[in-house]
């Protein structure tokens, strides 16, 4: 059995406090109507069979349900009544035919002891309970779906104020959530170190993927926060590359973007390294430019800082570095290049995003209709507050797709020195990503795996110095 973090032993996931937060945000935002009270009801995910098969699909627990319950058990539901401050968990009825195959499920008493609930019941009590609550309360839910449609007549779904309240509550993490995320980040650190160290047996992108997941599973993390991005060479120019199946022997650069999950809470870390341990001139130049973008913006993180400003600062640093390298034409000033928006073709995504139960967590208020290409894909568009967890992940990419129309348009190519640009295609892209908690005075970095290029080179070379046969004997 894999232990929980020491700091959380003997503690329960604070579902009751989360429910209270949602109620507070909801009542500040909503006009609740004629009913004297409000209640919240959310159904968790349930096991489902593949079509024409007796095997179940993988389950990913509903994050809103988990936020109000801390429960991963399929087929469960949670009900919170704001007026009485009562939180009730409904567990699936015991299926005696299934006990032979799967064993006895958690009992009501065990669930009451484990979870932060006022009461635990079986689903057989659900319909009559909702009917009784509905007499005096409006019961809000995210969705009336196949897991709760038998109770649909008592539920009010998709209320904008309810979603607002849920998202605003999830925006700022409490101490329990922070510990879960620290633990997820610690697991991820070790996985990234293992990937860098295992170069003797990594001859295909799939091997990188497997190495990361093996070490995550060994540490008790059975699920990944997202599909790992494991790419080499020019493939690194695709932001969410998930094929992860090409040979790497003929390439020079590696990018791995992967994060382990712990109890439904995410980590999200990206590291790059040279395959043979020696940075090529161009690879190191771009890596150092991205590192400067990250270190500069990281120092700006504190309550009250505007994330737009940090993101645009990263663009300005990239422009300055490209002028130094000669990629951008020195006939143009840094300000002229900034105003041209040409940097968006090399740094197309946002500086970072909120992180929590979802990798791209709720509450960021993005504006994908923004006409400014520098801001269009920025997922976090608000002032920073203590308690937010976010990523700082600048990147520079040399993508034939992103640059196709630029290369064919003289009015855009005037900003770029083509002969210099051509030296960098083989890199594909560089991204460096850490997970950060905004504190009262600045930030705490959850990510400990080194991003120093000299230290990375040392780790890779130490791995290469080990005997390949020794690695193969281990696996």
Return the bridge partners of 156, or none. Answer: 140
Nearest to 12, CA basis, from 164, 125, 146, 118: 118
Residue carrying structure tokens 């469960």: 76
**Along the 475 residues of the chain, how does pLDDT read in single tens digits?**
456 788 899 999 999 999 999 999 999 998 765 556 999 999 999 999 999 999 999 999 999 999 999 999 999 999 999 999 999 999 999 998 889 988 999 999 999 999 999 999 999 999 999 999 999 999 999 999 999 999 999 999 999 999 999 999 999 999 999 999 999 999 999 999 999 999 889 999 999 999 999 999 999 999 999 999 999 999 999 999 999 999 998 899 999 999 999 999 999 999 999 999 999 999 999 999 999 999 999 999 999 999 999 999 999 999 999 999 999 999 999 999 999 999 999 999 999 999 999 999 999 999 999 999 999 999 999 999 999 999 999 999 999 999 999 999 999 999 999 999 999 999 999 999 999 999 999 999 999 999 999 999 999 999 999 865 555 444 4
**Domains of the chain by range and CATH?**
6-171 (3.40.350.10), 175-470 (3.90.230.10)
Distance of CA 102 to the CA centre of its chain: 32
Q: How many CA atoms lie within 13 A of 319 on its CB side?
A: 22
CA distance 471 to 465: 11
Q: CA–CA separation, 367 vs 375, rounded Å?
A: 8
pLDDT tens digit string along 212-239? 999 999 999 999 999 999 999 999 999 9
* pTM of this structure: 0.95
d(CA 309, CA 300): 9
What angle, 0 to 180 degrees and rounded to 10, lies between the N-to-C axes of helices 15-29 and 160-171? 130
Six token digits for residue 183: 């633990």
Q: Residue 260's beta-bridge partner residues?
A: 224
pLDDT of residue 397: 98
Can you name the residues that pair with 458 across neighbouring β-strands?
none
């Amino acid at each position: 059995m894999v232990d929980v973090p020491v700091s959380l032993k003997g503690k329960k996931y604070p579902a009751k406090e989360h429910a209270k937060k949602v109620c507070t945000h909801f009542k500040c935002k909503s006009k609740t109507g004629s009913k004297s009270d409000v209640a919240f009801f959310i159904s968790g995910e349930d096991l489902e069979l593949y079509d024409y098969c007796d095997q179940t699909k993988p389950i990913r627990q509903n994050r809103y349900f988990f936020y109000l319950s801390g429960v991963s058990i399929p087929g469960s539901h949670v009900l919170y009544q704001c007026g009485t401050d009562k939180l009730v968990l409904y567990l699936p009825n015991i299926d005696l035919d299934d006990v032979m195959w799967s064993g006895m499920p958690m009992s009501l008493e065990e669930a009451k002891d484990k979870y932060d609930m006022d009461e635990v019941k079986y689903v057989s009590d659900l319909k009559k309970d909702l009917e009784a609550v509905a007499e005096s309360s409006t019961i809000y839910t995210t969705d009336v779906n196949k897991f709760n449609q038998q109770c649909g007549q008592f539920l009010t779904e998709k209320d904008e104020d309810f979603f607002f309240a849920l998202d605003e509550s999830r925006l700022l993490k409490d101490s329990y959530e922070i510990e879960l995320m620290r633990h997820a980040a610690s697991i991820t650190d070790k996985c990234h170190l293992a990937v860098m160290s295992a170069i003797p047996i990594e001859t295909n992108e799939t091997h990188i993927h497997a190495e990361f997941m093996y070490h995550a599973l060994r540490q008790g993390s059975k699920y990944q926060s997202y599909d790992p991005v494991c790419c080499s060479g020019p493939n690194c120019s695709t932001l969410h590359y998930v094929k992860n199946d090409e040979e790497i022997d003929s390439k020079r650069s590696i990018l791995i973007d992967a994060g382990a999950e712990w109890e439904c809470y995410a980590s999200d870390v990206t590291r790059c390294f040279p395959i043979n341990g020696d940075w090529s001139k161009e690879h190191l130049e771009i890596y150092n430019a991205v590192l400067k973008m990250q270190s500069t913006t990281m120092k700006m993180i504190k309550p009250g800082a505007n994330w737009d400003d940090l993101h645009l600062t990263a663009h300005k640093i990239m422009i300055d570095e490209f002028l130094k390298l000669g990629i951008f034409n020195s006939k143009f000033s840094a300000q002229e290049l900034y105003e041209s928006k040409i940097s968006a073709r090399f740094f197309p995504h946002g500086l970072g995003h909120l992180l929590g139960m979802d990798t791209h967590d709720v509450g960021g208020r993005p504006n994908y209709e923004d006409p400014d290409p520098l801001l269009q894909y920025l997922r976090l568009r608000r002032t920073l507050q203590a308690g937010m967890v976010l990523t700082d992940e600048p990147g520079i990419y040399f993508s034939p797709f992103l640059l196709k129309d630029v290369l064919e348009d003289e009015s855009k190519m005037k900003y770029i020195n083509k002969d210099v640009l051509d030296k960098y295609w083989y890199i594909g892209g560089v991204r460096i990503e850490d997970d950060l908690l905004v504190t009262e005075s600045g930030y705490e970095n959850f990510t400990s795996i080194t991003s120093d290029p000299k230290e990375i080179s040392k780790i890779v070379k130490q791995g290469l110095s080990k005997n390949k046969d020794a690695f193969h004997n281990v696996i």
